[in-house]
A = this chain, B = another copy of it.
């Protein structure tokens, strides 16, 4: 196990109607609130009205930032920071999924940053201070509600990059599983694929002695695999939505990644697809992950893939390790298919015209060829992507 710091100070208010505890928590952070949200689904399902009424009842001054995009843009970060300065905002309340929360966190950092927010998106060490952020989660997926990260897109340069700092961790997050009842099938599946990907990225690490972290990851994976189909079948299944929602936070709050060396593989590749084609992040990950697994399966990695197959998927062990490993990869692929995820790039509107460029950019923007589980060069990324056709 490698040395690590673990720090997950976000207070989680989990369960039905936990929103009622929000005003008291929020009042400790400030009275002038930037209410940040996305495309308006929270107005359809009533969450907007609930939050707005609560804030007004408790005499908060509310400034709104609506229309945060999926794959949030740096332009929106700039706009949000400007609003915060104009209205002397003291706390940002993000109501939405990972994109909205990521954008809110970047705005919080931009508030105290003198230059342009794209600078600290490219170099997170520039972030020194941030406004406090609170969140009301409406989609189980990215884990942004309990971590320091934010992924911001610059369409002008076709770049989608991850940034983050400890000061950007939300102070409080409301996780009410009923708020995800109205999440559509496609987004429920995409969110669950995103969680599995976070777990897989940390699971396949050069560090072999972080057994506890591996077992925790296996437990969260098994939970997602059990409950995603239940939520797809009965969208108002509280138990399913609750297990998925808490899984999203724990899949990426440091629990499964702390103490493990190496850097991620599928996320940097997917970020290029999203940057060039603006596709749904979790879907891109689902398409890439099994192909990445097939590509990096070799004599050095096979034992880990056997562990994945047996502990996560319950595939019986036998001496033909590659057979067991391949059954695990196939199980993951079949799982995504059963969730209704389109499993090829053409199905999400991606042709082969930009593959080479995206592969080169993936290397450029990441540690893929330096610290990844299996080091990849541009030609490897291109081969993995070619297998997605």
* Docked CA distance A220–B14 (Å): 23
A211-B243 contact, Cβ under 8 Å, with A3-B18, A216-B216, A219-B219: yes
Asked whether any CB of chain B lies closer than 8 Å to the CB of A112, the reply is no
- 29 cross-chain CB contacts under 8 A: A1-B14, A1-B15, A1-B177, A1-B238, A1-B243, A3-B15, A4-B14, A4-B15, A5-B11, A5-B12, A5-B13, A5-B14, A6-B11, A7-B11, A7-B12, A8-B8, A8-B9, A15-B259, A211-B226, A211-B227, A211-B239, A212-B220, A212-B223, A212-B243, A212-B246, A215-B222, A216-B216, A216-B220, A219-B219
* Docked CA distance A381–B6 (Å): 40
Asked whether any CB of chain B lies closer than 8 Å to the CB of A330, the reply is no
* Docked CA distance A255–B5 (Å): 18
* Docked CA distance A220–B9 (Å): 21
The digit string for A1-45, where 1 denotes a CB below 8 A from any CB of B, is 111111111011111111000000000000000000000000000
Instruction: Pick from A218, A227, A238 the residue with the most CB of B within 10 Å.
Output: A218
List chain A positions with a Cβ less than 8 A from chain B.
Answer: 1-9, 11-18, 177, 209-212, 215-216, 218-220, 222-223, 226-227, 238-239, 242-243, 246-247, 250, 255, 258-259
Q: Which residue of B lies closest to A175 (CB)?
A: B6
| A202 → B minimal CB distance (Å) | 14
A239 touches B209 (CB 8 A): yes
Among candidates B209, B223, B255, B258, residue contacting A14 with C-beta atoms closer than 8 Å = B258
Tell me which residues across on chain B come within 8 A of A242, comparing CB atoms. Answer: 1, 209, 259
Q: Which residue of B lies closest to A221 (CB)?
A: B215
B15 touches A212 (CB 8 A): no
Tell me which residues across on chain B come within 8 A of A219, comparing CB atoms. Answer: 212, 215-216, 218-219
Tell me which residues across on chain B come within 8 A of A223, comparing CB atoms. Answer: 211-212, 215
Known: A2-B15, A211-B223. 8 other contacts (CB 8 A): A1-B15, A1-B242, A3-B18, A4-B15, A6-B12, A211-B239, A215-B218, A246-B259
Tell me which residues across on chain B come within 8 A of A259, comparing CB atoms. Answer: 14-15, 242, 246
The 9 closest A-B pairs by CB, nearest first: A3-B15, A215-B219, A9-B9, A6-B12, A1-B242, A209-B239, A219-B219, A212-B223, A7-B11
Among candidates B7, B210, B212, B218, residue contacting A250 with C-beta atoms closer than 8 Å = B212
* Docked CA distance A247–B215 (Å): 11
| A15 → B minimal CB distance (Å) | 3
* Docked CA distance A179–B252 (Å): 29
B246 touches A1 (CB 8 A): yes
A6 touches B1 (CB 8 A): no
A6 touches B2 (CB 8 A): no
Tell me which residues across on chain B come within 8 A of A13, comparing CB atoms. Answer: 5
* Docked CA distance A125–B127 (Å): 40
| A364 → B minimal CB distance (Å) | 32
Tell me which residues across on chain B come within 8 A of A222, comparing CB atoms. Answer: 215
* Docked CA distance A210–B242 (Å): 8
Tell me which residues across on chain B come within 8 A of A3, comparing CB atoms. Answer: 14-18
Q: Which residue of B lies closest to A218 (CB)?
A: B219
Q: Which residue of B lies closest to A4 (CB)?
A: B14
Tell me which residues across on chain B come within 8 A of A226, comparing CB atoms. Answer: 211
| A346 → B minimal CB distance (Å) | 36
Tell me which residues across on chain B come within 8 A of A18, comparing CB atoms. Answer: 3
Tell me which residues across on chain B come within 8 A of A209, comparing CB atoms. Answer: 239, 242-243
Q: Which residue of B lies closest to A1 (CB)?
A: B242
Q: Which residue of B lies closest to A213 (CB)?
A: B246
Q: Which residue of B lies closest to A16 (CB)?
A: B3
Tell me which residues across on chain B come within 8 A of A243, comparing CB atoms. Answer: 1, 209-212
